[in-house]
Amino acid sequence: MHDLVIRNALLVDGLGSAPVHGELGFSAGKIVEIGKAKGSYKETLNADGLALMPGIIDNHTHYDAQLTWDPLASPSPALGVTTAIIGNCGFTIAPCRPAGRDLIMRNLTQVEGMSIEVLRSGIAWEFETIPEYFAMLERRGVGLNIAGFAGHSSIRSFVMGEDASRRAASDAEIEAMRRIVLEAVRAGAIGFATSTSPAHNGEGGMPMPSRLAEERELRALVGSLKEAGRGLFMLTKGGQTKMAFLEELAADSGRPVVVAALLHNSTSPGVVFDDLDAIAAANGRGRRMAGAISCCPLSFDFTMRSPYPIESLDAWKRALGKKGDAMKAVLADPSFRQGIRDELARPATFRLFNGEWDKVQVVETVRRENAHFEHRTLAELARASGRDPIDIWFDLALDEDLDTVFIAQTLNSDEAALAKMLRHPASLVSLSDAGAHLTFFNDAGYGLHLLGHWVRDLQVLSLEEAVRRLTSHPAEIFGIRNRGALKPGYCADLLLFDPAAVNRGPKKRVLDLPGGGARLATPPIGVHGVWVNGTRIADEKGMRPLDRLPGQVLREFNG
């Protein structure tokens, strides 16, 4: 007797085939039949014509810390994600000796938008090395399948201590890092991840350690993937990192290379397509490269205590890491404001924030007399008052002890451009950043957004193509075995949903992190069931209570 047969479903196989009505049966966590089920089953579920697809493989998450206190990686599984790749951008928590923990947490709090209190009260430090971290996840259990990168910034801090954010590495230090990457990949890391993005800063505005790496360091570390004969290289690219250099790494190592974060910038709209075209051309020369794009507009909720969208401006450097009165003094300084105006007036190829005042809005004011600012953009307020948008912005924040909440829709908001990116042969649908930036945004529901907004509402992609983009496509790029398709022998990672309703719900602020920390939540809409390795973890009412955690730590990948 097999376990469960789902009847009367619209089967979307993840491979891009046209959807067909049929049945799917599984047993002991593996799909046994698809199409017409002939075996006998202990249980039957009538899907009433709902769509059944493989579970979403979220290839860009940051659950490394959260998984040690929340093995379910909330909210991703409720949003249809059955496999998550962690350690992106190289922001891991392993390797780490006890003496290095504080530095790792201080770096993460800034770059990932988690408070230091959350990290201090949350992280279980039952490991030092990367293999020990994976072993800990296995011992404690995970609610969904997890694959993890060896992370450059943590490896650099492990080898170089506080110097990791200050200088280039010596030959001996590069050799020590190379051995750690090699050991990690042999123990089951999915690859090596790094960031050269100027948006990535640690405590007090110190650059994240990986940003200090010279090209020879990257060459050596990516070279260890070649030596291991496994693993892929993922990088979040700053504007100074050239695509030709990344192609060289792909060619020398023979390993796949995933380039993030390719976001559309309305003030330099061609750049993202130049990058995608360069990747497509490299693939034409035999490389295996993909450009990680997002199907969501990038918007940040923030206060002027930590205004992520503008923190990567050079002119902001004077304010980085400042708190309270020191921050207020900088914000009030007319020459500081002028510096920001001057910088925004200069064109830039990659910049998170570009002075698009119609895309910065006041969300929530503190003082009653300022309530009339709410839900208005800085462009509107500037037009109405004849004042400069930066003066309006900073003066309002100063008037409210820096607690005014703003939202900035910085990048990726041009739908025609996004449609073109989604259809580009070199693009990989990615960048949920789930588990990070918790107070700024939450795109963990990117898969439901793709199915609702881009498939149903805008008809930019067919249902079967969108499902392929969320499942077998990332599985193929990342070498994930026996997942990402509805096929006999494949793991029973499944998502049952209503194509007419599917969506991600409105954002709301909840206080459920360790120690009561805040994050933005977004509920699923139209999800009727999620299975991980044959265990149903969610139904139409949301997550179910579980008597055991059904996820696996994935350690073996296709070449």
Q: What are residue 407's phi and psi, to 5 degrees?
A: -130, 135
Applying CB under 5 A, the span of 84-92, 213-221, 355-363, 376-384 interacting with Zn ion comes to 84-92
Q: How far is the CB of 423 from Zn ion (least distance, A)?
A: 24
Q: Which helix (H) or strand (E) holds 528?
A: strand 527-532
Applying CB under 5 A, the span of 26-34, 86-94, 128-136, 330-338 interacting with Zn ion comes to 86-94
Applying CB under 5 A, the span of 85-93, 294-302, 346-354, 494-502 interacting with Zn ion comes to 85-93
- 458 Cβ partners below 8 Å, 6+ apart? 415, 419
Q: Does 88 bind Zn ion (CB under 5 A)?
A: yes
Cα separation, 272 vs 269, in Å, equals 7
- 264 Cβ partners below 8 Å, 6+ apart? 272, 411, 412, 413, 414, 417, 418, 421
The three-state secondary structure class of 168 is coil
Applying CB under 5 A, the span of 26-34, 82-90, 491-499, 507-515 interacting with Zn ion comes to 82-90
Residues 406-436: b if buried by 16+ CB within 10 A, e if exposed: bbbbbbbbeeebbbbbbebebbbbbbbbbbb
Whose tokens are 């940040």? That residue is: 300
Q: How far is the CB of 384 from Zn ion (least distance, A)?
A: 37
Number of chain residues interacting with Zn ion (CB under 5 A): 3
**The one among 86, 89, 142, 180 contacting Zn ion by CB under 5 A:** 89
Q: How far is the CB of 478 from Zn ion (least distance, A)?
A: 15
Q: How far is the CB of 260 from Zn ion (least distance, A)?
A: 7
**Site track 400-439 with Zn ion (rule: CB under 5 A), x = hit:** ---------------------------------x------
| Chain Cα centroid distance, residue 547 | 29
Instruction: Give alpha helix (H) positions in 100-234.
Output: 101-112, 116-122, 130-140, 152-160, 171-186, 215-228
Q: Does 86 bind Zn ion (CB under 5 A)?
A: no
Give just the sign of the alpha carbon dihedral 120, 123, 127, 133.
negative
Closer residue to Zn ion, CB minimum distance, 88 or 471:
88
Closer residue to Zn ion, CB minimum distance, 89 or 496:
89
Q: Does 521 bind Zn ion (CB under 5 A)?
A: no
**Site track 433-472 with Zn ion (rule: CB under 5 A), x = hit:** x---------------------------------------
Applying CB under 5 A, the span of 80-88, 208-216, 437-445, 451-459 interacting with Zn ion comes to 80-88
Q: How far is the CB of 88 from Zn ion (least distance, A)?
A: 4
Residue nearest to Zn ion according to CB distances in the complex: 89
Closer residue to Zn ion, CB minimum distance, 234 or 494:
234
Two structure tokens written together for 454: 């881009």
Closer residue to Zn ion, CB minimum distance, 64 or 464:
64
Whose tokens are 């993460």? That residue is: 108
Cα separation, 143 vs 147, in Å, equals 13
Q: Phi-psi bin for 526: left (phi > 0), alpha (psi -120 to 50), beta?
A: left
Q: How far is the CB of 112 from Zn ion (least distance, A)?
A: 8
Choose among 179, 116, 86, 79: nearest CA to 538.
79
Closer residue to Zn ion, CB minimum distance, 88 or 153:
88
Q: How far is the CB of 440 from Zn ion (least distance, A)?
A: 12
Applying CB under 5 A, the residues found at the interface with Zn ion are 88-89, 433
